[in-house]
Amino acid sequence: MAGPTFDKLAKIMGTEDKEDRVNKIIGKIEERKNVTRDFAELKLHKLVCKGKCDWYREREPAERFNKDDLTEEEEQEIKEIVKGVTDSEFNETVRKDIHAVLCHPI
Ligand SMILES: [Zn+2]
């Protein structure tokens, strides 16, 4: 499925549809793994979070997640879903974009 991805990559850099994309990714994880939306979001957060965000800092240690319980398999699966939605490999830009949406204070 080779094809020009330049336009799509440029789109990822845009801000207007980042939230939509992240919502889509969460929805697909939810479907694929048959889990709740919150759980799907947590899995995605584990993949993109390096434990330095406000979300993480503001929580008591017991409420924080353990990133290590995200298995290699789950990691690959989620990265594949991300790729399907964004048309981009899971890279640092994609990671930051997703994290910016997930950790945005509600
Ligand atoms: Zn985070």
Residue 92 CA to ligand 1 centre (angstroms): 14
Backbone angles phi, psi at 71, to 5 degrees: -75, 160
How far apart are the C-alpha atoms of 78 and 57, rounded to whole Å? 24
Does an H or E element contain 65, and which? none
Residue 48 CA to ligand 1 centre (angstroms): 7
Residue 2 CA to ligand 1 centre (angstroms): 33
Kindly report whether the global pTM for this prediction surpasses the value 0.85.
no
Query: Taking Cα atoms as reference points, which of 47, 37, 39 lies closest to residue 78?
Result: 47
Residue 17 CA to ligand 1 centre (angstroms): 20
Residue 26 CA to ligand 1 centre (angstroms): 15
pLDDT in tens, 67-86: 778 899 999 999 999 999 99
pLDDT of 29: 97
How far apart are the C-alpha atoms of 66 and 61, rounded to whole Å? 10
What is the pLDDT confidence band of residue 34, given thresholds at 50, 70 and 90? very high
